[in-house]
Structure formats: C-alpha cells, structure tokens
Homo-oligomer: A and B are copies of this chain.
Amino acid sequence: MPYDPSAFPPFAVTVDLVVLTVRRHSLCALAVRRGEPPFQGRWALPGGFVRADEDLSQAAARELAEETGLCAHDPSVPAQDNGAHLEQLATYGDPKRDPRMRVVSVAHLALAPDLPAPRAGGDASNARWAPVEELLQQGGYGRDGEPVAPLAFDHAQILADGVERARSKIEYSSLATAFCPPEFTVGELRRVYEAVWGVALDPRNFHRKVTGTPGFLVPTGGTTTRQGGRPAQLFRAGGATLLNPPMLRPEV
C-alpha cells in the first residue's frame, strides 16, 4: 500500500513510571495524586507526554528527575552513584485506557535506593511512597483502615507488571544493588531480596552465594554497624551484571 499521511490515526504518546524502592522492609512504589480529571484525586503512577524531539528513554529520565530528583543510570554504566536504574517495561495501548483520547503509554521501570520524601511539583501531599501491595489491592482497605481506591487508568496493571519484572530480574542479575546505597552490607542486600520477594532467606546461604559469585560484590575495606550486632563488611556492586547461576527464589 502506498504511503498516505492521512492513513494513520494520530496518537498521544506518554511515558509512565513504575518507581520502586525498599523502605522499612517493604517494596514501595511512587504514586502521585491526580489534580485534574479524569480520575481526579485518585492515585496514579507518575508520567507525562513525550515531547516532539525526545526519545522515549529521555522522556522517562526527564519525568523521573522531575518527580524524584534522581538522575537515571545509563544501563551500560552500572556503577554510577546517586542514580537509579531505568529500563523500558512495556507499552499499553488499549483504545479505551484513557477516556479523553487515544493514548499509548510506554511504561518504564525505575529502581532506586531509599529516598527522602518525594516531591511532586513541590507539593508533598500529592506524592508518596506506598507499599505495592497496598496500591495493588483494588478497593480494599489500607494499613490505617482507610478505604483504598484503585489506581487511575490501567496503572494497577502497569504496576503489577513492573513489580513482577523486578522480582524476576533480581534473580539473574545484579539489579538488587540498585535498591542499595553505593556502599552496603550483605545483610542490607539480603533485606532487599526479602522485601522484593516477600520471603525470608537464610543469612548464611545468602552470604555464601553473593560473596562467592565472582564480580558481584567487591569489598570496600570498611565496616559498619547499622543494624546493631556485629559490624559487617561494606561492599560496592561489582562489574558483573548477570548472575550465573542465578539467585533462586524459594518455592512458595
């Protein structure tokens, strides 16, 4: 068929962000409160329109910086400091996903270390870290007994997909270190796995596994006591990005 500029319908293209972190031993996602219809007042994932001259990953990095102040890692430079891991997740384009018009959203997944309180256009009450299970329980009740409205649009599905991606990807990659500060202990890394998977891991076998995988962790020489108990060695993430053999997620 010949090229005809009028032959395609116009779309709006957005990026939405699943920003995950680990706070107080639970996996949390960044949610922002919508200020306008549709879904006004409801919680949603941060996101926005892709600009005319912008690549998708640029748009995602810009939105991430606007919402959190984080600067996105280039995936090829995993040892950067003070940044977050950012990768494309999936694209959602149901014709009815936005009642206003045809919007295709390219969702991205960001993993960040624990951060200070989020900001959303300077208004802290309109952005928060919430445990993912709280955001995903549609129409249930939150920890404080308040009724919980489901996320706007199809954002519950997007969040669920992002969480699943994170859960499976820390199995066979060193991505769990993206949840940690630049220097961390084996115990802190283990608590990341435990929070993301929602399971308890044996500290001794975990220690053997991560310290025995070449290139995964490199000791910095320092020690610290952050949790009470015996001081622990500090490590940085090593150059290895793939874990082979993988970390095994315990059976249910």
Contacts of A56 in B (CB 8 A): 91-93, 104
The CA of A2 and the CA of B35, in the complex, are separated in Å by: 8
With the chains together, A88 CA to B165 CA distance in Å?
Answer: 14
B8 touches A49 (CB 8 A): yes
For the complex, is A77 an interface residue (Cβ under 8 Å from B)?
no
Q: How far does the alpha carbon of A36 sit from the alpha carbon of B2 in the complex, in Å? A: 7
Is the CB of A95 closer than 8 A to any CB of chain B? Answer: yes
A52 touches B93 (CB 8 A): no
- A50 sits at the interface (CB 8 A): yes
A8-B49, A49-B7, A88-B90 known; A13 vs B95 contact (CB < 8 Å): no
Q: Which residue of chain B has the shortest Cβ distance to A102 in the bound complex?
A: B52
Question: For residue A91, which residues in chain B have a CB less than 8 angstroms away from its CB?
Answer: 56, 88, 91, 106
For A36, A50, A91, A95, the residue with the greatest tally of chain B CB atoms inside 10 Å of its CB is A91
| B54-A95 in contact (CB<8A) | yes
Residues of B contacting A55 in the complex (Cβ-Cβ under 8 angstroms):
93-95
Residues of the B chain whose Cβ atoms lie less than 8 Å from the Cβ of A5: 100-101
8 Å CB contacts to B: which residues of A45-69? 49-56
Known A88-B90, A90-B88; judge A95-B53 contact (CB<8 A). yes
Q: Is the CB of A104 within 8 A of B13?
A: yes
Question: Would you call B11 and A100 a contact (CB within 8 A)?
Answer: no
The answer, yes or no, to whether A122 is at the interface (CB within 8 Å) is no
Chain B positions within 8 Å of A95 at CB level: 52-55
- Name A100's contact: one of B3, B54, B90 (CB within 8 Å): B3
In the complex, whether A9 has a CB less than 8 A from a CB of chain B is yes
Across-interface contacts of A50 in B (CB, < 8 A): 8-9, 11, 93, 104
**A11–B13 alpha-carbon span in the complex (Å):** 7
Which of chain B's residues have a CB closer than 8 A to the CB of A116?
none
Q: Does A221 contact B (CB under 8 A)?
A: no
Bound form: Cα–Cα A91–B14 in Å: 12
Knowing A3-B100, A93-B106, the reply to whether A52 touches B12 (Cβ < 8 A) is no
A residues adjacent to B (C-beta < 8 A): 2-3, 5, 7-14, 36-37, 49-56, 88, 90-95, 100-102, 104, 106
